[in-house]
């Protein structure tokens, strides 16, 4: 019974860490002028957010680490998940540091990010296979069969890690949107981990949920702080690492459906612009900006997208139970 209660305590502890650190970090970031630059081509209503402190992902990751390391056993699975999470956290931190501190708006180049993400993916896959927590097989839900991918398994893991982290990053565009959506997704994955009797991974997931629910106190509209790439890339790392360790890479497409939709909206917009002589499908991408420009209040967009995230997550749970 205590094993099942540990994930709940981990969530509470993670939330407490964020709630205690938030009021201390925000004023310090203000003093250091670690403010977010708002792109000029974005919605005009966002210009008022310029100067809001970013890099709030620091306290989110701190909360996740404290909750996880306090209650979880340091198994190979947990260490691998933390390696992926911290790897993407470092990439995000460097990106934010360049943009906010060095005042280079573009941060890391696409090539630099790609290289960092590739190294993490290859290292994680090699270690996972070497220590026996990854088996180079792809599980197909409903059909309930496993396909041995061989070398292509490395490509699959890279796609899952890079796709998820960048999709979460794209979703982080409105106050509370990414934090609430990932909190829902990580809660769903906590249930999946409990279903597979992976209690330590459940602790990681609920630590993530607890930290994000607490972070919403500072990140809900009007936001006092943004998570930045420091947070969004790390959170993508949590979700994608748990997906590969539970062999639910295919289900992740549905469970993280909101992030897939957001990423697809950007791809569709870019392809349309280049192939249809400047014509756009959406008023602006990612998709949440389209609805803003349609006249929806920011809070309405966020709440509706949270609902989509919940529907996607629990639809994934149903598919799992039917498999």
C-alpha atoms less than 13 angstroms from C-alpha of 269 in its C-beta half-sphere: 14
Q: What is the pLDDT of residue 32?
A: 72
Q: What is the pLDDT of residue 4?
A: 72
Q: What is the pLDDT of residue 12?
A: 97
- DSSP bridge partners of 147: 138
Nearest to 256 by CA among 163, 318, 174: 163
Q: What number of residues does the chain have? A: 323
Q: What is the pLDDT of residue 38?
A: 56
- Residues of the chain predicted below pLDDT 50: none
Q: Which residue has the tokens 């090539």?
A: 111
Q: What is the pLDDT of residue 51?
A: 73
Q: What is the pLDDT of residue 40?
A: 54
Q: Cβ distance 226 to 54 under 8 Å?
A: yes
Alpha-carbon distance of 252 to 255, in angstroms, equals 5
Token pair belonging to 276 = 């249809």
Ranges assigned E (strand) in the chain: 137-140, 145-148
Q: Cβ distance 237 to 121 under 8 Å?
A: no
Q: What is the pLDDT of residue 101?
A: 79
Q: What is the pLDDT of residue 36?
A: 61
Q: What is the pLDDT of residue 34?
A: 67
Q: What is the pLDDT of residue 110?
A: 83
pTM: predicted TM-score of the whole model, two decimal places:
0.94
Q: Cβ distance 71 to 6 under 8 Å?
A: yes
Which helix (DSSP H) or strand (DSSP E) does residue 40 occupy?
none
Give the chain's mean pLDDT.
92
């Amino acid at each position: 019974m205590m094993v099942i209660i540990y994930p709940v305590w981990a969530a509470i502890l993670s939330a407490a860490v964020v709630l205690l650190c938030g009021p201390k970090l925000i004023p310090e970031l203000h003093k250091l002028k670690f403010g977010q630059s708002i792109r000029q081509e974005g919605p005009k209503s966002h210009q008022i957010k310029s100067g809001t402190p970013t890099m709030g992902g620091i306290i989110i990751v701190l909360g996740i680490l404290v909750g996880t390391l306090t209650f979880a056993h340091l198994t190979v699975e947990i260490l691998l998940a933390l390696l992926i999470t911290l790897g993407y956290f470092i990439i995000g931190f460097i990106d934010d540091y360049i943009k906010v501190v060095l005042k280079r708006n573009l941060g890391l180049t696409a090539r630099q990010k790609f290289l960092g993400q590739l190294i993490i993916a290859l290292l994680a896959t090699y270690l996972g296979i070497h220590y026996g927590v990854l088996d180079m097989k792809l599980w197909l839900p409903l059909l309930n069969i496993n396909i041995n991918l061989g070398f292509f398994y490395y490509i699959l893991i890279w796609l899952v890690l890079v796709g998820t982290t960048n999709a979460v990053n794209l979703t982080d565009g409105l106050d509370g949107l990414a934090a609430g959506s990932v909190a829902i997704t990580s809660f769903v994955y906590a249930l999946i981990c409990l279903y597979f009797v992976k209690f330590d991974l459940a602790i990681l997931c609920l630590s993530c949920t607890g930290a994000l629910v607490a972070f919403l106190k500072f990140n809900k509209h009007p936001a006092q702080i943004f998570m930045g790439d420091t947070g969004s890339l790390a959170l993508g790392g949590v979700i994608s690492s748990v997906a590969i360790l539970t062999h639910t890479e295919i289900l992740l497409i549905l469970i993280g459906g909101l992030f897939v939709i957001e990423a697809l909206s950007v791809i569709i917009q870019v392809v349309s612009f280049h192939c249809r002589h400047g014509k756009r499908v959406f008023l602006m991408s990612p998709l949440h900006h389209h609805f803003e420009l349609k006249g929806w209040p920011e809070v309405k967009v966020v709440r509706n997208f949270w609902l989509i995230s919940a529907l996607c997550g629990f639809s994934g749970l149903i598919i799992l139970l039917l498999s």
